[in-house]
Structure 1
Amino acid sequence: MAVGINAMPVTFVAHALAIIAAIMVLVWTISFRGGLAWEATNKNLIFNLHPVLMLIGFIILGGEAIISYKSLPLEKPVKKVIHLVLHAIALALGIWGICAAFKNHNESGIANLYSLHSWIGIGVISLYGFQWLYSFGLFFYPGGSANLRSSVFPWHAILGLFVYILAVGNAALGFLEKLTFLESGKLDKYGTEAFLVNFMAIVTILFGALVVLTASAKSTSSSPPVDDESNYSYSAI
């Protein structure tokens, strides 16, 4: 059942929060943490790619993919393509971000997959990939029957929102984990960087909440159903 608000106004705030979060993570990794690099003597520069790619690539673009399907005043086939492509880019950048973390650990002699954040992260990226692959085959190409798509879509929406909420929560957990490591290395607990990371986590959570609210809100389209996908909306959940 859709929430009794229009999706479009909510998206304006969500877009603003996305821009703020992107700026914050770039300021953090470049101004406070020294920059970004795939190959570097300072292995911390390799790790810095991880929060940037996971937040901007995975969380923000993944959220925009959900928002686009509900809020854009376009025809359904166009929205489906935008939804699919944005999720594909988010998935690719998320995989790259995880690879950056593994590369940093391997070249720094740090153990992999020892934290709850890393365990959840592998689970999230795996579920995200599974969701994209079966959705591509069922809803895009070669495509399932109308009855099959109609029956599967509510589960597609539920799983998609579940994975996204889990991703946002894990991002906040990752910020906490990194900040804890930094503070154990004598970073000022009440310094500018510590406050920046904490506020960045809050903005990320707020963005994720607005993405879910948009998915549950009424669609911007007022046109009557015209095809077998007339019930395809996140409000189907």
Structure 2
Amino acid sequence: MAAGWFYLSLLALSALGLMCILFTIYWMQSWHGGFAWDGTISMFNCHPVLMVAGMVVVYSAASLVYRLPQSWVGPKLPWKITHASLHLLAFILTVLGLVAVFKYHNNHNIPNLYSLHSWLGITAVFLFACQWFLGFAIFLLPWASMWLRSLLKPAHVFFGASILSLAIASVISGVNEKLFFSLKNTTKPYSSLPGEAVFANITGMLVVVFGLLVLYILQASSWRRPEVGITTEGQPLLHERE
């Protein structure tokens, strides 16, 4: 029954994550002219889509790998590789998202990293980069001892959830910032809730709900990798929860 609830929750979560991406694409396509990679506003429009896809949806998928019941038995190395690979994909999408916004800002003489949204975002990306490289070096490569892995694992788990929380906060502040800029000189200001504001607010709420559900699944003890007591050469953490 527990496994059934998990897969049902995972299916709902996957649909919600896809909705977050599709809603962001629709917002940028319908109200801001679509996408390009040419340094114009159309290149900037790639930024929110890539950041939602990378820092929120794919990042969450990577974080949930060890909650799959199939990962609870047998060798752990394939799941470690899957976990690291999905995080790497999330990081690549995130870097592309940063390139889109920095190139647009630089081409139009707009300052970089001046808002709270940008501070939250760059902090999340910096911690993500540190988390991935340290995780790869300590938990995937075979040189680290079980003692070192056990020592660093709580911090690895804590920062994993913290980075997702920062990413969600960055998305929400970014939605508000975009609406303030795009609606400040229109006949229907943000305060009157025109169609774009309603749609963007809904998109932001979807991201919040998605993130909270991911954090709940990560914290639910019944859906964690159980202690199986299997240790093999080169995989000293097989017996630990992840």
- 2:84, 2:136 within 8 Å by CA — same for their partners in 1? yes
- 1:7, 1:215 within 8 Å by CA — same for their partners in 2? no
Question: What SS class does the counterpart of residue 113 from structure 1 fall into?
Answer: coil
- Distance of 1:19 and 1:45 partners within structure 2: 22
Aligned AA (2:52)? L
Task: Note the C-alpha offset of 1:13.
Answer: 2.1
**Which residue does the alignment assign to 1:122?**
122
TM-score (norm 1): 0.89
Task: Note the C-alpha offset of 1:12.
Answer: 2.2
Which stretch of the first structure deviates more once superposed, 24-33 or 217-226? 217-226
* Residues 90-141 of structure 1: CA deviation (Å, up to 9, x unaligned): 1111111011111111111211111111112111111100000011000112
**Which residue does the alignment assign to 2:133?**
133
* Residues 49-75 of structure 1: CA deviation (Å, up to 9, x unaligned): 100100012211001111122225234
Task: Note the C-alpha offset of 1:7.
Answer: 4.2
CA RMSD of aligned residues (A): 2.0
- Distance of 2:9 and 2:32 partners within structure 1: 33
Unaligned runs of 5+ in 1: none
Higher RCO structure (Cα 8 Å, ≥6 apart): 1
Matched, 1:31 2:35: no
Matched, 1:21 2:20: yes
Aligned AA (1:113)? L
- Distance of 1:160 and 1:63 partners within structure 2: 9
- Distance of 1:156 and 1:7 partners within structure 2: 23
Unaligned runs of 5+ in 2: none
- 2:34, 2:45 within 8 Å by CA — same for their partners in 1? yes
Matches within 5 A, 1:60-79: 60-71=57-68, 73-74=70-71, 75=74, 76-79=76-79
Task: Note the C-alpha offset of 1:191.
Answer: 2.2
2:209 to 195, 206, 211: 206
- Distance of 1:149 and 1:102 partners within structure 2: 37
**Which residue does the alignment assign to 1:95?**
95
Aligned AA (2:99)? C
Aligned AA (2:194)? G
- Distance of 1:159 and 1:206 partners within structure 2: 20
- Distance of 2:160 and 2:45 partners within structure 1: 27
**Which residue does the alignment assign to 1:44?**
41
- Percentage identity across paired residues of the two chains: 31
